[in-house]
Structure 1
Amino acid sequence: MYRRDKKHPWEKSMEMIIRLHRKIAPELIAIFEERYNILRHIYHAQPVGRRSLSATLDTGERVVRAQVDFLKNAGLVDFSPLGMTITESGQAILAELAEYIRQLHGLTVLEQEIAQALSVGTVVIIPGDSETNNMVAKELGRAAASVLSQQLGRPLTIAVSGGSTMANVAEALTVSAPQTLVVPARGGLGEQVEYQANTVAAVMANNLGGKYRLLHIHDGLSEEALETVLTGDSPMRAVVDRIKRADILIYSIGQAGRMAERRGIRKELRRQILEQGAAGEALGHYCTLDGKIVHVTSSLGLKLNDLAEIGMVIAVAGGAAKAAAIVAVAHAGSQDVLVVDEAAARAIQMIIHPTSA
């Protein structure tokens, strides 16, 4: 995790260790990565059998057996009739290995580069590609949940958007924060139920032991219709007021074309939005690569120009295909924290510094 003007004290010593490994024992690096991948697959899939693990990793059963036997003898993995599980020691080692892998892949340097280019306070990069590996998608959610958890402990209102990424964030939250109120960032009932902002808000609140308020209104209604709804529904107006006064916003970023289609925007308007250069979408705003907003869907809730008034804004997205969308939304609105996977980060690097990647 990179924070502008702040470096971890262990970074130089970790870099030195990696340099020594590459010079004296490069084979150790491959072993580190292999055992790290096995440990984190077990962690996310536990209890899991060797055959299933072998298929997921696309590795021979003999190789997997040798490695998990080593991990078991080291006290990092337990075997049972139900399958393999990771021990407490294994979880601790997994966290430590994660920092090693991040340094090994040069992710701390890349975090700094992206943070400075996009004017983001903190960038967090998770190794891997969430588009091709569901385990990485879960880790992306877990990393965002960890960032969010660090802010809890006092009465707060959290606004959350919908989508599969936010569903992973909600599922990953394990801390107790009964003083927390969770609200959907915007209206919208057109997606799969489990990915709707209302559902994500309810799951997040339940996992925190907090409370939630829901916003039952479709995106895309006219401004006049929305005003009529608010005028005749004081409870809904109260929910919108709480959303506007959120202390934390955590939201996902989508590709402009895909989101326009998913939101049911008519074909001709979709074409116009894309012809104007829209690359990314967030909170119903369609943005060009340089941050120009070319279309906004009418909805109750937060807008990108509200972000400056919110205490902490956390954006989360993964996959190389979303790189342009992430850059577009980052230029359109302010983020305190950006959580992405390595695939997205490498593709972002190609956009912001095409000759350095």
Structure 2
Amino acid sequence: MFWERGKDGPGWYAMDPTDADILLAATADWRDERWGCAVTRRIAFVVFDGMKMLDVAGPAEVFAEANRFGAGYSLTYVSPSGTPATTSVGTRLEVGGAVQDLGAVDTAVVSGGDVLVTEPIPRSLVEAIQYLHPRVRRLVSICTGSFALAAAGVLAARRATTHWRHASLLARANPDIRVEPDALFVEDRGVFTSAGVSAGIDLALALVEGDHGPDLARDVARSLVMFMQRPGGQSQFSAPLTVQAPRTPMLRDALDLVAAHPELDHSAQSLAAHVGVSPRHLARLFAAELDTSPARFVERTRLDHAKALLDAGHSVAETARRVGFGSAETMRRLFVARLGVSPSQYRTRFATTSPRNSSGSLR
């Protein structure tokens, strides 16, 4: 099915894909000057028994709110079999039909749910995703919906993310997927994966921005009391939370000190003196329990604090001083080396939510 200017106005017509009269595919975004109407982007939410209600409701509210500002999304809800789905909280969610009865769709969103991790993924859901993938412009998963995409073979040789609690399982079960466990959301060649519930909302806002620009997305964010300050590459958690909780009390004391006061001198010698061990012994503890070094942990922690301060509007010089980098130039070199952008460029990025695609450019 393709969108064409028909004799009786724009609409959906069954046509040969090679027909030279086809103007644009179903996923195109254009305005018919003759009829003065914008092509509606159809968003299909794929639901199933045990799905998490917020994985659908959150992103759907973003798209629906965008319509108030002229976006023109059409939302529909489908299940693999066409029967209603029962959510994880027991709510019965009515659907408009089965996946294979959808027709043309711009974006398909696969919700998540603990059942995708604790139970075998239904074959019907896998087949539904395999059916949709070549037929949509964007395929999106929320939270553990990435496990369903992986089972369908969609994520093979792609970058992806999921909820932090299940990221290691996704990576172990699918060695052909490059799992990015601390990203809020990731895009790779038209396939979008996100972390937990709130990250799914961030991703939906980024998709709106990609479709309609930052001004409309900002209107949506303000209306929903959301922040446009979480691009996809932002970590789900800060450095102290991404490492395992140390078993050794003295190591925990060292981590707590760095996290609470990143501006202090945190050389190996000073940290070791603080917890009462030798620098060599402290280095062994970091390596054994955290798989990192004291210097690397301090650097990561300072980077996280710096990003938070830049987000809040602090200057580069003030941020460098407050997090202990010593100088703005030192912080700049580290940002470029670790993040690929300068502090000023990083702060500018927070004017947008757009995810970066596999080539590194914004979509």
TM-score range, shorter chain: 0.3 to 0.5
Mark the structure with the bigger radius of gyration: 2
Give the structure, 1 or 2, with the largest relative contact order (CA under 8 Å, sep 6 or more).
1
